[in-house]
Amino acid sequence: MVKKARRGRPPGSKNKKSEGNIGKGGNVAKMEVGQLRAYIEGLQNVLAKKVSEQRAYFEHQLSQLGGYVSKKTSAAVKAVTPNRTGKRAKAKPKYQSKKDKTLKWAGRGMTPVWMRDEMKGTKLTKEDFAIK
């Protein structure tokens, strides 16, 4: 007589799939409140332990990666990202009034009114007001 092949899991297998069973605790719906609290505390402890292990592992991996950065690459990164605030130094004056020595102009922007007034009707040019 030939034995028929059995379907499903072999007897005594540990991977039984049954709803409501969680580990050794049994069915959660049938547990008492005290048992549930103890079970939850146990799960929280296991979770905290695993999180700390993973954190330590990833921090170790990150610290090892930091050793691969050479001085040249760190200098290149600094060159790409400058630390400028976007402010410029005030331009030094290049031109000064002939009549009033306190009036000065850096040569940027529109010609000042005092320079236009002094040049009007004369042969003076902008270079005549240059500070030497």
Direct distance between the N- and C-terminal alpha carbons of the chain, in angstroms, rounded to an integer: 121
Residue 42: both structure tokens together: 């146990």
Shared domain check, 31 and 76 = yes
The answer to whether residue 8 sits within a structural domain is no
Q: How many domains does the chain have?
A: 2
Mean pLDDT confidence for 29-34: 90
What does the pLDDT look like over 72-113, one tens digit per residue? Answer: 566 676 666 667 677 888 899 999 999 999 999 999 999 999
The answer to whether residue 11 sits within a structural domain is no
Domain that holds residue 108: 95-129
User: Would you state the pLDDT for residue 20?
Assistant: 46
Shared domain check, 65 and 104 = no
Record the pTM.
0.36
Region of 9 (left: φ > 0; alpha: ψ -120 to 50; beta: rest) is beta
Shared domain check, 34 and 70 = yes
The answer to whether residue 53 sits within a structural domain is yes
